Structure 1
Amino acid sequence: MQNLTELSGNETSNNSLSVIIKVCVVIPFFCVFLGCIGVMLHIFVSHRQFMDTSRYILFAYMLVNDTLQLLSSVLLFLFVMGGVKFALVYCIPLLFISTATFQNTPLILATMSLERYVAIVYPLQRPVAWRSDRIWIIILSLWLISCIFTIIDHSFMENDPAVDILSTPVLCKATVVNSSQIQTLFRAAASILFFAVVAVIILFTYVRILLETRKLRQDTASVSKAMHTVLLHGFQLLLCMLAFTIPITESVIVLHSNWRPENVAYFNYFCFILIPRFLSPVIYGFRDQSLRGYIRKTFLCCSNKVKPCRQTAGQLVCLSNFQNHN
């Protein structure tokens, strides 16, 4: 997304075919993602009980953030694949949204981990900031942190006298617009900071959650489910964190292999930008017992009745029972 190489004007037919294949893979993948997100957001809006629970509010926020991130990144991807150039005044807002939402993803994962830790360890004495009517303060803080880092990054941009921000067409990608050495160093330092903080938070919270789960629920099924969820969360976080190393991995792979730079960049974009966002509705939506009934009813259009869920001790318990009709 941020590191795709500009296609040359004298592309061969093989290069043109490669571009078409890449676009035909990304667009359907993106459409399926939007469909899943649309269904889940519709469920949240239609059923008030979900928006009264901090866990689901954070989940909905993550879905909105991932949608903005993918929408902006896919637009940038298509512009670069097509060699479309336009003025910086239109390019910078796209890059800003893409970068801010990209950096926001690991922060949201860490916050959701902390929310689960607070809900399990302090079920009856939950801090005020983690209650559903105050969770917006934490969400606003995450946005503020992401935007501050992005603003600082763009403030280091070197002004080229030959480039008019209102009229000079440029290829809209980070390596062209934000190409100064100071920006590169700042992004590397910010990536290391994000990785370290988020990794420590998630490791700490999930270890504590597993320990508490073993204490409260002795049945092996519950412990096994918790461990599988942790593994999925860890895999998603790993993919998100690896995206911060894309500039390094691209340079190393291109230098030590016969892969073309644009193919390496596309592989990194698909694996570390698209896949982690697509996993979000799978990990947090389809595996959630309370949401799964509503999602199944929406997708399959079945006639099963889904009874409302009720909130008990900070947990949303679904009362739905599915019956098969012949």
Structure 2
Amino acid sequence: MSYVTQSQTNITAGLQYRGILEVLLSSVPITVSCCVFLFINGLMLHTLRSKPVFCETACYILLYNLIFADTVQMVLTQLLYLLSVCRIRLTYPVCGFLIMITTLTTGISPLTLVVMSLERYVAVCCPLRHAAIITIRNTALAIIIVWSISSLNVFIRVILLLIFPFEDLESLQMKDFCSLTHVLLNPISDDYDKAYTCVLFVSAAVAVTCSYIGVAIAARSASTDKASARKARNTLLLHLIQLGLSLSSTIHNPLLTEISKVLDRVTALRILNVLYVFMMLLPRCLSPLIYGIRDQTIRGILMYHLCCRAKTIVGYVDPKEFHTLHTFH
């Protein structure tokens, strides 16, 4: 009898060890990837504040706002991921606070892409009025409006969350891991979430597409700079792709719920880890990578910072090369 009990204990311990080992093998690479993405985003944010031209040009100011929101969201989503991996359950108020900040930054990306698309449209279709329309003041006003719209969305969500009868719950401690799906306690909140997401991304897609069509038509005009129009058209196409990638993060949680219903836990976790990287982390890192490579002004200074950091890690910087880089900076 003791032998059977000991065997069962060994089997249970072995299964727990395999479970922990599998969690580590999946979570550690994801966490390392997130740290790499955060490093790239942080370096890009630093680059966009290292030169006066970046602080005085509308497109770079808008890009900074986009990357900043994506970086904050990446930090929060990774925090929620680690909490779920460690099986830490939060209280509803703490989880709601984290989810609302995540929701705030989620709405910033598509709205900022709309403003960036309109800026490119004005630059190509109204070049003589571009300097008068796209000023630093108007750009700051546009960013304030973007954050205000997203904040209003969060405020409405908080009100819908507060009308839920929490006194009927046995405890404010959550029975599951913290996520948007588990915070939408009220059916009205779920309906509002779906409606707002649909309206937001459809409106953003229409605005970016119309800007693209307007630039494409202007590119055929003899009075338009062909090279600038072609570059603006490619940029707007990039914005449309970015918008699609941002949309992928909003369908991550519903997809997670459906996969968990039809697959066993181990298989579901493996698939969800892959989806998390490609639908949540990677889209938030593509913007700095793409703009850092495409834009010649950004690329030069970004490579300068990368070279300096790489040499600092190694521990040696050639004095002549450092003087050259310092002069360029």
Q: TM-score range by the shorter chain?
A: 0.7 to 0.9
Change beyond 3 A, Cα 1:241–1:27: same
How far residue 53 of structure 1 moved from its aligned partner, in angstroms, is: 0.6
Which of the numbers 22, 26, 41 marks the counterpart of 1:18? 22
- Name whichever of 91-100 and 252-261 sits farther off: 252-261
Which amino acid in structure 2 is aligned with residue 119 of structure 1? A
Which of the numbers 193, 198, 202 marks the counterpart of 1:187? 193
The answer to whether the 8 A contact 2:45-2:64 is kept is: yes
Equivalents in 2 of 1:205, 1:16: separation in Å? 50
> Sequence identity, in percent?
28
Equivalents in 1 of 2:115, 2:250: separation in Å? 19
For 1:290, the equivalent position in structure 2 comes to: 297
The answer to whether the 8 A contact 1:293-1:306 is kept is: no
- Name whichever of 66-75 and 254-263 sits farther off: 254-263
Deviations 1:70-123 (A, max 9, x none): 111111111111111233333222111111101221111111111111122222
1:139 aligns with 2:143: yes
For 1:124, the equivalent position in structure 2 comes to: 128
For 1:176, the equivalent position in structure 2 comes to: 182
1:203 aligns with 2:218: no
Which of the numbers 27, 31, 36 marks the counterpart of 2:40? 36
1:53 aligns with 2:60: no
For 1:300, the equivalent position in structure 2 comes to: 307
Larger radius of gyration: 2
Equivalents in 1 of 2:287, 2:153: separation in Å? 24
Q: Please tell me the root mean square deviation across aligned C-alpha atoms, in Å.
A: 2.9
How far residue 138 of structure 1 moved from its aligned partner, in angstroms, is: 0.9
SS, match of residue 98 in structure 1: helix
The answer to whether the 8 A contact 2:114-2:208 is kept is: yes
SS, match of residue 46 in structure 1: coil
Which of the numbers 275, 280, 288 marks the counterpart of 2:282? 275
How far residue 248 of structure 1 moved from its aligned partner, in angstroms, is: 4.3
Which of the numbers 123, 135, 152 marks the counterpart of 2:156? 152
Change beyond 3 A, Cα 1:291–1:182: same
Change beyond 3 A, Cα 1:11–1:202: farther
Equivalents in 2 of 1:140, 1:30: separation in Å? 29
Equivalents in 1 of 2:133, 2:144: separation in Å? 12
Equivalents in 2 of 1:67, 1:145: separation in Å? 19
Which amino acid in structure 1 is aligned with residue 185 of structure 2? S
Equivalents in 1 of 2:153, 2:65: separation in Å? 20
- Structure with the larger strand share: 1
- Structure with the larger helix share: 2
1:233 aligns with 2:239: yes
Deviations 1:184-215 (A, max 9, x none): 11111111111210110111112222333454
For 1:63, the equivalent position in structure 2 comes to: 67
Report the TM-score, using the length of structure 2 for normalisation: 0.79
